[in-house]
Amino acid sequence: MAIVAVENQKFKLGYNRYLRNAFYITLVAHVLMFYFTPTFTFKPYVLREEYFEAIDLPEQFELPPPPKEIAAPAVPIEAAEGEEVDEDAEIAPTTFERIEDVPPPPPPPSEQASEFYAFDEAPVLIKFVNPKYPDLARQAGIEGVVLINVLVAEDGKVLSASVIRSDVTPAMEKAAIEAAKQFVFKPAKQRTVPVKARMAVPIRFKLHGN
């Protein structure tokens, strides 16, 4: 403890000397820095000059002539047996000027139209399921009829159902189809044998109190 106190006392006694030496060293460093630093000279910016040359363009341009048309190569025509081919005959070019005269393509074949079921006794509806009235249609007071085309199987159950026509919303048509698929029929018969059959069933949407 006594040694630390002695060293601390020595440092305090030489504090002025340390401060003076540091000041001299800093002063000498600044003098040397200013002495060896080159003198800054200001040079004004000189704008580089550029030259532009104006070119007079002609008012009209001469277009080169179009290239000459090349004749299409002759297509050889094979003649059938016993038939002579006239080599000098020309095939009329194809034209689309009267495209409106071309008949439209035939409509795609309908699956329902291609199905035909013969029967002597028509199916009879024995279980009717009321369709679920859509809430939005009920609130809007929409009423109408959906004519459903149903395919009745040999056991009287509905195999498929589709809309023939309707005057209601798509949501009501969907509800009618879902209800029709739950119908049960007395199956159609060909003589005494149950067979498949198609029939149209109207489903009416009507609000109570009307």
Highest mean pLDDT pick, 3-12, 49-58, 116-125, 140-149:
140-149
Which one has a higher pLDDT value, 172 or 33?
172
Q: Binning pLDDT at 50, 70 and 90, where does residue 35 land? A: confident
Residues 6+ apart with CB under 8 A from 203: 131, 145, 146, 147, 148, 176, 179, 180
- Extended strands (E) in 153-196: 158-166, 184-186, 188-190, 193-195
Q: Domain count of the chain? A: 1
49-61 pLDDT tens trace:
776 677 776 667 6
Specify if 157 maps to a domain. yes
Instruction: Tell me how far apart the 2 most distant CA atoms of the chain are, in Å.
Output: 141
Which one has a higher pLDDT value, 99 or 157?
157
Query: What pLDDT is attached to residue 153?
Result: 94
pLDDT above 50: residue 203:
yes
13-24 pLDDT tens trace:
777 777 888 888
Q: Percentage of the chain with pLDDT > 90?
A: 35
Q: Where do the H-state alpha helices sit in the chain?
A: 2-13, 15-36, 111-114, 135-140, 170-180
pLDDT above 60: residue 47:
yes
Specify if 88 maps to a domain. no
91-106 pLDDT tens trace:
555 554 544 454 555 5
Specify if 201 maps to a domain. yes
pLDDT above 80: residue 125:
yes
Q: Binning pLDDT at 50, 70 and 90, where does residue 205 land? A: very high
Specify if 35 maps to a domain. no
Query: What pLDDT is attached to residue 96?
Result: 45
Specify if 24 maps to a domain. no
Q: Provide the token pair at 117.
A: 């079921």
Query: What pLDDT is attached to residue 177?
Result: 95
Query: What is the domain extent for residue 152?
Result: 117-205
Specify if 44 maps to a domain. no
- Residue pointed to by tokens 């919303």: 169
Q: What is the pTM of this model?
A: 0.46
Nearest to 199 by CA among 145, 148, 153, 140: 148
Query: What pLDDT is attached to residue 99?
Result: 43
Q: What is the domain-level CATH number for residue 161?
A: 3.30.2420.10
Residues 6+ apart with CB under 8 A from 186: 123, 124, 126, 156
Average pLDDT of every residue of the chain: 78
